[in-house]
C-alpha cells in the first residue's frame, strides 16, 4: 500500500503489481510518454503480449491481402496486390504511434528492477543486447527501485 492511498486504486505514478491485461493496456496509454517512475512485470509483459499479437495479426493481414491480386512481371518477380500497401501503411502508422510509449514502459520496467533507463541502450548491441534486455525485463522488482518514483 502506498502512503495516502488508503486501500483505493493504485495511483498512476506507482507500479501496479498483478495488473490484469485491461489494466496494463490502460496504464500503458495513460502514461504515454512518462519515462519516470516504475512499471511492474505484469504491466510490461501484458503490453508485450498485446503488442506482439497486434503485430502478428497485421503481418498476416498484409501477407494475405498482398497475395490477393498479386501479379508476376515478365522477368519473374512478383508484384504484391493493393492490399499489401494498405497493410503496410497501417503497420507503419501503428508502429509510429506506439514507439514512444513502448520505450517509456521499458524504461519504467528497468527502473522497477533498480536499473537506469539508459540500460535499454544495450538493445543496440548485436545478439547479446536483446537477450540481456529480455532477462532484465523478467527480473523481479527491487525495493531500491522506489528511488525512481515521482509521487504526484
2-45, pLDDT tens digit by residue?
A: 554 456 788 999 999 999 999 999 999 999 999 999 999 999 99
Other C-beta atoms closer than 10 Å to the C-beta of 3 total 6
Task: Kindly list the distances between the CA atom of residue 56 and the CA atoms of 8, 22, 61, 93, 133, in Å, as whole numbers in the listed order.
Answer: 37, 19, 9, 15, 21
Task: State the pLDDT at residue 4.
Answer: 47
**Model pTM above 0.95:** no
Cell of 10: 493504485
Amino acid at each position: 500500500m502506498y502512503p495516502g492511498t488508503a486501500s483505493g486504486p493504485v495511483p498512476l505514478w506507482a507500479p501496479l503489481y498483478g495488473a490484469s491485461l485491461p489494466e496494463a493496456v490502460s496504464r500503458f496509454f495513460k502514461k504515454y510518454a512518462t519515462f519516470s517512475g516504475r512499471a511492474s512485470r505484469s504491466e510490461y509483459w501484458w503490453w508485450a503480449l498485446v503488442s506482439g499479437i497486434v503485430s502478428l495479426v497485421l503481418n498476416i493481414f498484409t501477407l494475405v491481402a498482398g497475395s490477393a491480386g498479386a501479379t508476376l512481371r515478365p522477368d519473374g518477380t512478383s508484384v504484391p496486390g493493393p492490399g499489401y500497401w494498405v497493410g503496410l501503411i497501417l503497420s507503419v502508422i501503428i508502429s509510429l504511434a506506439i514507439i514512444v510509449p513502448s520505450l517509456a514502459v521499458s524504461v519504467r520496467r528497468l527502473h522497477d528492477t533498480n536499473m537506469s533507463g539508459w540500460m535499454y541502450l544495450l538493445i543496440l548491441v548485436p545478439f547479446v543486447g536483446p537477450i540481456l534486455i529480455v532477462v532484465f525485463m523478467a527480473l523481479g522488482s527491487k525495493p531500491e527501485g522506489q528511488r525512481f518514483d515521482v509521487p504526484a
